[in-house]
Structure 1
Amino acid sequence: MFEHIGPFFRWWSSETIAVVTGANRGIGFEIAHQLALHGLTVVLTSRATAVGEEAKKVLQEGGLNVAFHQLDIDDIESIKSFADWIKETYGGLDILVNNAGVNFNVGNDNSVEFAEKVIKTNYYSTKNVTQALIPLMRPSASGSRIVNVSSRLGRLNGKRNKLGDIELREQLGNVDTLTEELIDKMVDSFVQQVKDGTWQSGGWPEVSTDYSLSKLAVNAYTRFLAKTLSDRPEGSKIYINCYCPGFVKTAMTGWAGHTSPEDGADTAVWLALIPDLSVSGKFFAERREVNF
């Protein structure tokens, strides 16, 4: 377990490019803000251009080096357009923070009315962005970084949220048997059961079922991708981790959270800048490693 990892040495510079998706407000905005305060060049994205431009303006007025580009992570053409722009404008990127996501349940609600949308955006679209940008991650001795904003609700062995299918839980928990196809099959099965009206007997997480499962998929994909990327040669390493920001007081939680966006963003920024190059495929909360 990593309880503390030593003080930063400044491996980055103003030429280091960090992309933060869904950064026009909430946790994403604060991640972009804090990374920019560290002196990086930050590209914030949002689905709607007007609010993204406004967020960029606010940060630029504070003297920070921030750019904006529209990105709808649910739109493959938008992802391609964004990737082309990053390549043309900066030659690539060094840090990717996958923050964009959706949740339609607040408090104790557990509707699956928007389950297909939640799974698509939080898992498949996050995966599509990651796969589109990995080829553009620039080689360096310090390595490139991917940080996935996730949730403790997506842990495999949560008390109320564990999967009822023990065999599936074991497969997902074993990085040697974990495959992208297995993760896809799991979420596709859930979406089909929602359509069939049989999902309640499927052994899925009991709390915010669609959101929890989407984040469980993100967590599993993080571990899978960390293993896949571990074979890259020195100088071209990419380190990927995920984290739970906590119950943050944002629009997504209906402003009911008890953690500030500033505190919620802290671990994402820490993971993006951490100098310890052995940390990959891990799940963190409050700068501490947590079991998946």
Structure 2
Amino acid sequence: MGKKERAQERREQRRQQISLLRTIPYSDQQRWWSNETIAVVTGSNRGIGFEIAHQLASHGLTVVLTSRETRVGEEATKIMQEKGLNVVFHQLDIVDPASVETFSDWIKENYGGLDILINNAGVNFNFGTDNSVEYAETVIQTNYFGTKSMTKAMIPLMRPSPFGARIVNVTSRLGRLNGRRNRIANVSLRQQLEDVDSLSEELIDSTVNSFLEQVKNGTWESGGWPQVFTDYSLSKLAANAYTRLMARILSDQPEGQKIYMNCYCPGWVKTAMTDWAGHTSPEVAADTAVWLALTSDQFVSGKFFAERREINF
């Protein structure tokens, strides 16, 4: 058996393991949710987001499916509603402040708030060996600033609960601080971003803004940035860092108003974002997000996961 075949066999074994995990009911946990539990999934009209929404709704939650485009969002919602799932739609563009505000007002008026937020909406314009930064500003604005904007808008609307509200950010291993191959070359900057006690929103913002400035003046290639899918990797690194920062800040919430925030890498998934070149199905990729959203372990916060296993930032 060749190297390629062995790798494929390992992936298949892991896929089977994850499929088995998905069949394990949540009866070994305290089932804290009901059909009155409100879960919002951004960018959920297709791909991983659609499957996250589908799995959450299949567990009996009320799911708000969102999409930038109303027509495709309504079509995706109809598919789930025809299965008897409690899914509703609302338009949402996370990079449009007016859209986020309208959505926030709607959630508050119709449900009084939410219990779970899955920040899934994201973009990537590179495929295969491409590493263009032509759309770097759009990538950073969506994957980092959009995620941050949505998080800030939803935190005040998180409903009190003895089990805590949940925020799950869909990020990537490409955004790891200390990955062996795809990392920021500036050791001092990496150390600052790694130190959660001194980590700040200003530091994260200045890091991505420095990159964008170098993109504009044409010096980014010598800036020591990640070498694979540079703009996407940096946007996910920023989202990972923001997850750690907010988890630390939110840890000071009083009992009954706790909010637990984590992020996870879904893997290389067969979706439009990868030009259907991935090796993981959306069903398997969604599993860890759903697991993090529903776990009864209230001590899990500020962590990074892949395939239900914690990995290093």
Please give the range of the TM-score, normalised by the shorter of the 2 chains: over 0.9
Partner of 2:168: 147
Q: Distance in 2 between matches of 1:6 and 1:12?
A: 12
Given residue 69 of structure 1, which amino acid in structure 2 is its aligned partner?
A: H
In 1, distance between residues paired with 2:265 and 2:217?
31
Q: 1:28 aligns with which of 27, 49, 59?
A: 49
Q: Which of these residues, 211, 214, 221, is aligned with residue 190 of structure 1? A: 211
The CA deviation at 1:6 is 9.4
TM-score for both structures, normalised by structure 2: 0.91
Matched, 1:249 2:270: yes
Larger-gyration structure (1/2): 2
Q: How many residues align?
A: 289
- 3-state DSSP of counterpart to 2:263: strand
Deviations 1:57-95 (A, max 9, x none): 000000000000000111000000000000000000000
Residue in 2 aligned with 1:219? Answer: 240
Higher share in helix? 2
Instruction: Measure the CA separation in 1 of the matches of 2:49 and 2:28.
Output: 24
- CA spacing shift, 1:6–1:175, aligned 2, 3 Å: farther
The separation in 1 between residues aligned to 2:221 and 2:99, in whole angstroms, is: 35
Is 1:133 aligned to residue 154 of structure 2?
yes
1:222–1:6 CA distance, 2 compared to 1 (3 A):
farther
Instruction: State the distance in 1 between where 2:195 and 2:28 align.
Output: 32
Q: What is the TM-score when the length of structure 1 is the normalising length?
A: 0.98
Contact 1:22 1:28 in 2 (8 A): yes
String of CA shifts for 1:4-35, please: whole Å, max 9, x gaps. 99932210000000000000000000000000
Q: Distance in 2 between matches of 1:248 and 1:8?
A: 28
**C-alpha separation between the residues in 2 aligned to 1:232 and 1:72?**
28
* Shift, 1:161, TM fit: 1.1
| Alignment partner of 1:279 is 2:283 | no
For residues 93-148 of structure 1, give each alpha carbon's deviation from its aligned partner in whole angstroms, at most 9, with x where no partner exists. Answer: 00000000000001111000000110000000110011001000000000000000
- Write the distance in 1 (CA, Å) between the matches of 2:230 and 2:36: 41
Q: Which amino acid aligns with 1:194?
A: V
Secondary structure of the 1:74 match is: coil
Among all aligned residue pairs of Structure 1 and Structure 2, give the percentage whose two residues are the same amino acid: 73
Matching residue's letter, 1:137: M
**Which residue in 1 is equivalent to 2:78?**
57
Q: Is the 8 A contact 1:8 1:273 kept in 2?
A: no
Structure 2 unaligned blocks of 5 or more: 1-20
4+ long deviations beyond 3 Å: 4-7
Asked whether the 8 Å contact 1:21–1:99 carries over to 2, the reply is yes
CA distance in 2, matches of 1:288, 1:129: 26
Question: 2 CA distance for matches of 1:116 and 1:104?
Answer: 11
Deviations 1:223-249 (A, max 9, x none): 000000000000000000000000000
In the alignment, which residue of structure 2 is the partner of 1:47?
68
Range moving further from structure 2, 159-168 or 202-211: 159-168
Aligned-residue offset at 1:160? 1.4
Cα distance change, pair 176–67 in 1 and its aligned pair in 2 (3 A): same
| Pair 111,6 (structure 1): closer, same or farther in 2 beyond 3 Å | farther
1:180-211, CA deviations, whole angstroms, 9 ceiling, x for partnerless residues?
00000000000000000000111100100000
Partner SS state of residue 28, structure 2: coil
RMSD: 1.1
- Give the counterpart of 2:113 among 87, 92, 100: 92
**Which structure 2 residues correspond to residues 227-266 of structure 1 after superposition, within 5 A?**
227-266=248-287
